[in-house]
């Protein structure tokens, strides 16, 4: 994967933007449980009251609370509240609050200033409120009416007229009594103390005639609206990241396919011997798709999951540090499951890609050789061969899928078990007043987010090995150095006459122990035809494939006009060559597009002339669309002879200095063969013509015939000379022609 990382360089801005959006999405997702906790704790349980410090409190209420505050808290409260009433204080502030708190008309009140320190005020009021509660409990217990009085305080159903009448006595309480109440407040859990304080705030608001239902509804709507906006922002970020990831991964796949294709185009025969056609197809399609899927998922998961996991842990611990051991336990179990799956599945992913190669190979052979299969009646054998390969791939895929299928139930079991554990432990803490219901629910959601983060990471652990195998296979192609290179300082072949000379040329295939061509020397001159003949496997096609540098010689040299072909750019060299392969290959398109393959600028007259010389004009004219007639893939809608003639016409359109015919007349009848060779002789003019043939009649008129036998030159000369001097040639001729034809 690292070797392919350079392909991400053009997309760095998109990656950074996606990471920024993912961070924003993660922060939004992590904020939602906290707001849900506020709705439960504040909106439902606390009636929409957020702090133990009231926003507005009557003057008597403030005097009551001040009786249980120390000097520091009294100074703080004095600085954070402003006295307001119908005839005193800030009248604009009075007008603002009197509608919401009608009791302000009949009593002066203290209103919290805009920039008040809520945390400090909340602590001061909650301690004072709990101190008052403690004193009331103690006094009620001493008078024998403890339960009734305590119940009144707990229910926040306070008779303020009686309590305010007691303010002088409460202010006159001994300092040790007040200190005892303050100490009790300090020892009390802050959350429980705040809950008691909020009950008092509720009572203070009720005293002033506030609509408590309206306060609760307003709070719920406010928090709900914030949650909705956060959720919409999260969704927008998710959609944007999906868009960026799709564009990025598609662009990466496009670039990889382009470079793999360009690399394959630069391969010589040696590299094609190393990679099978089926394997190259798989690497260009399936393997790149695997990498594309990894990128589109990885960009989201690799960045998003860690943020969610780490953020979830921090927020969960902030809600309840005492239950953090649950998350640690679940994470350890998850890591164990992921590791087990990884160890089992990893070897199978490597095997799957190799089996896909094998299946492609079998499929390609069956499709391309369908006529042979039918002719020999081996459909059943090929079906069994395909079925065997298909079953092997299916079994491997099923094994991997079963392992993957087991992961989700395992994750759900772990998640549900974690939920039960959180509810069980959290309910005990709620009963002990050390946790609120909303906090437990938020902790549960954060734990779920942490688990889902690990689930997403585990999915990446499954995808990464398979994509890694594919990336290695792609990298093998991209980093395969072609054995044939262009020179750093190429020589110029322009003005080429086309004289081809072999000087002591030997050649062996990569990995072979012996040469297939041995010390071959000859000269093919412009305006002449040089033919090659020999038994099957004698090295004819191998020899002429050295001229366009499909392979490079092992020893010796090949020159054109005295210039070593290794000192010329491959493109410049092949511009001088018209190559007609042994197996005629046509491309999907039209007859005209195939003929213009060698010269895009060729006009219609050039196409007609080339087709006429190649003896293909007649059958082209018979087609309704003529030169615009469609050619299907591989030229399957024309006969073998027509395919060869069109391949010859394609080379003629190019008008090169060197023509190479690699047994290109084998599918032609004798009459067409003779007519084509006669026309070629006039058309090729001063070009060099090299012909590989099996039939003596095809090359009989050649100025120079080279006879090969097991990679050795056993005879060079014209037909009559070879009949006298070369036994191998004489045997071939005698096997094909009668005595009368030989004379």
Decide if 627 is inside a domain: yes
Decide if 522 is inside a domain: yes
Q: Return the number of other C-beta atoms located less than 10 Å from residue 113's C-beta.
A: 13
Pair (454, 439) in one structural domain: yes
* Structure confidence by residue, pLDDT tens digits, 385-406: 889 989 988 988 888 888 777 7
- H or E element at residue 153: helix 146-154
- Which residue would you say has higher pLDDT here, 170 or 741? 170
Pair (267, 395) in one structural domain: yes
Query: Vertex 281, ends 277 and 283: CA angle to 5°?
Result: 115
53 Cβ neighbours under 8 A, 6+ residues apart: 112, 116, 118, 121, 122, 124, 125, 197, 201
Pair (325, 474) in one structural domain: yes
* Structure confidence by residue, pLDDT tens digits, 531-548: 999 888 888 989 999 999
Decide if 727 is inside a domain: yes
Give the chain's end-to-end CA distance (angstroms, integer): 69
Q: Could you tell me what percent of the chain has a pLDDT over 70?
A: 95
Side-chain-facing half-sphere of 539: CA atoms under 13 Å: 22
In CATH, what number is assigned to the domain containing residue 598? 3.40.50.300
β-strand partners of 708: 534, 713
pTM of the model: 0.71
Q: Could you tell me what percent of the chain has a pLDDT over 90?
A: 19
Q: Are 81 and 113 in contact (CB under 8 A)?
A: yes
Pair (269, 318) in one structural domain: yes
Decide if 485 is inside a domain: no
β-strand partners of 557: 503
- Which residue would you say has higher pLDDT here, 220 or 360? 220
- Which residue would you say has higher pLDDT here, 11 or 459? 11
* Structure confidence by residue, pLDDT tens digits, 30-64: 888 888 888 888 888 888 888 889 999 999 989 98
Decide if 405 is inside a domain: yes
pLDDT of residue 742: 64
Domain of residue 511 covers: 497-576+657-743
- H or E element at residue 661: strand 658-662
Pair (650, 665) in one structural domain: no
- pLDDT (mean) for 674-697: 86
Decide if 13 is inside a domain: no
Decide if 206 is inside a domain: yes
Pair (402, 440) in one structural domain: yes
pLDDT of residue 256: 92
Pair (680, 651) in one structural domain: no
Q: Are 690 and 530 in contact (CB under 8 A)?
A: yes
Pair (595, 571) in one structural domain: no
pLDDT of residue 149: 38
Q: Are 107 and 60 in contact (CB under 8 A)?
A: yes
Decide if 14 is inside a domain: no
Pair (433, 549) in one structural domain: no
β-strand partners of 661: 580, 691
Pair (459, 310) in one structural domain: yes
* Structure confidence by residue, pLDDT tens digits, 75-93: 999 999 998 888 787 788 8
In CATH, what number is assigned to the domain containing residue 246? 1.20.1560.10
Pair (630, 685) in one structural domain: no
Q: pLDDT confidence of 462, banded at 50, 70, 90?
A: low
- pLDDT (mean) for 697-712: 90
Number of domains in the chain: 4
Pair (97, 204) in one structural domain: yes
């Amino acid at each position: 994967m690292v070797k392919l990382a350079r392909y991400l360089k053009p997309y760095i801005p998109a990656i950074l933007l996606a990471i920024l959006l993912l961070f924003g999405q993660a922060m939004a997702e992590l904020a939602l449980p906290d707001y849900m906790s506020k709705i439960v704790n504040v909106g439902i349980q606390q009636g929409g009251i957020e702090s133990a410090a009231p926003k507005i409190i009557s003057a008597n209420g403030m005097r009551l609370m001040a009786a249980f505050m120390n000097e520091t808290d009294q100074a703080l409260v004095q600085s954070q509240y402003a006295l307001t009433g119908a005839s005193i204080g800030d009248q604009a502030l009075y007008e603002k609050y009197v509608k919401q708190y009608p009791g302000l008309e009949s009593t002066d009140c203290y209103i919290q200033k805009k920039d008040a320190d809520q945390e400090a005020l909340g602590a001061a009021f909650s301690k004072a409120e709990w101190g008052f509660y403690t004193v009331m409990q103690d006094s009620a217990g001493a008078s024998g009416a403890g339960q009734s009085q305590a119940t009144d305080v707990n229910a926040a159903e306070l008779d303020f007229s009686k309590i305010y009448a007691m303010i002088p006595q409460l202010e006159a309480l001994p300092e040790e009594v007040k200190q005892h109440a303050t100490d009790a407040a300090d020892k009390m859990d802050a959350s429980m103390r705040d809950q008691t304080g909020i009950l008092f705030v509720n009572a203070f608001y009720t005293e002033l005639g506030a609509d408590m239902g309206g306060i609760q509804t307003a709070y719920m709507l406010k928090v709900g609206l914030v949650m909705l906006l956060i959720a919409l922002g999260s969704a927008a970020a998710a959609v944007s990241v999906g868009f960026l990831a799709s564009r990025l991964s598609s662009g990466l796949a496009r670039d990889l396919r382009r470079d793999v294709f360009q690399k394959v185009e630069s391969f010589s025969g040696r590299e094609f011997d190393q990679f099978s056609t089926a394997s190259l197809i798989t690497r260009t399609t399936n393997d790149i798709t695997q990498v594309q899927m990894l990128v589109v998922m990885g960009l989201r998961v690799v960045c998003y999951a860690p943020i969610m996991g780490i953020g979830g842990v921090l927020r969960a611990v902030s809600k309840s540090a005492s239950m953090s051991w649950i998350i640690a336990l679940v994470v350890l179990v998850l890591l164990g499951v992921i590791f087990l799956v990884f160890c089992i599945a990893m070897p199978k992913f490597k095997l799957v890609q190799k089996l896909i190669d094998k299946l492609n190979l079998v499929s390609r052979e069956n499709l391309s050789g369908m006529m042979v299969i039918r002719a020999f009646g081996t459909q059943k054998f090929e079906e069994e061969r395909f079925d065997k390969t298909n079953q092997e791939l299916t079994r491997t895929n099923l094994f991997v899928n079963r392992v993957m299928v087991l992961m989700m139930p395992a994750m759900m079991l772990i998640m549900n078990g974690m939920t039960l554990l959180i509810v069980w432990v959290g309910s005990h803490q709620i009963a002990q007043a050390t946790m609120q219901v909303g906090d437990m629910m938020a902790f549960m959601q954060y734990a779920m987010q942490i688990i889902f983060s690990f689930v997403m990471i585990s999915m990446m652990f499954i995808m990464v090995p398979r994509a890694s195998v594919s990336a290695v296979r792609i990298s093998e192609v991209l980093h395969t150095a072609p054995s044939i290179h262009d020179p750093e300082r190429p020589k110029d072949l322009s003005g080429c006459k086309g004289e081809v000379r072999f000087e002591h040329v030997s050649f062996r295939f990569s990995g072979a122990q012996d040469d297939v061509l041995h010390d071959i020397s000859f000269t093919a001159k412009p305006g002449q035809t040089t033919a090659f003949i020999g038994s099957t496997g004698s090295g004819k096609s191998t020899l002429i494939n050295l001229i366009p540098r499909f392979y490079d010689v092992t020893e010796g040299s090949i020159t054109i006009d005295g210039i070593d072909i290794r000192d010329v750019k491959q493109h410049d060299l092949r511009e001088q060559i018209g190559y007609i392969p042994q197996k005629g290959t046509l491309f999907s398109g039209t007859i005209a597009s195939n003929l213009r393959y060698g010269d895009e600028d060729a006009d219609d007259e050039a196409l007609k002339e080339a087709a006429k010389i190649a003896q293909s004009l007649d059958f082209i004219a018979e087609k309704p669309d003529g030169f615009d007639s469609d050619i299907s893939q591989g030229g399957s809608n024309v006969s073998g002879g027509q395919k060869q003639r069109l391949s010859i016409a394609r080379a003629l359109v190019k008008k090169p200095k060197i023509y190479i015919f690699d047994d290109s007349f084998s599918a032609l009848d004798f009459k067409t063969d003779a007519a084509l060779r006669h026309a070629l002789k006039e058309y090729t003019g001063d070009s060099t013509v090299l012909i590989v043939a099996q039939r003596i009649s095809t090359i009989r008129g050649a100025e120079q015939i080279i006879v090969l036998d097991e990679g050795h030159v056993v005879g060079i000369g014209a037909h009559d000379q070879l009949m006298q001097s070369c036994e191998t040639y004489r045997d071939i001729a005698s096997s094909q022609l009668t005595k009368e034809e030989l004379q």
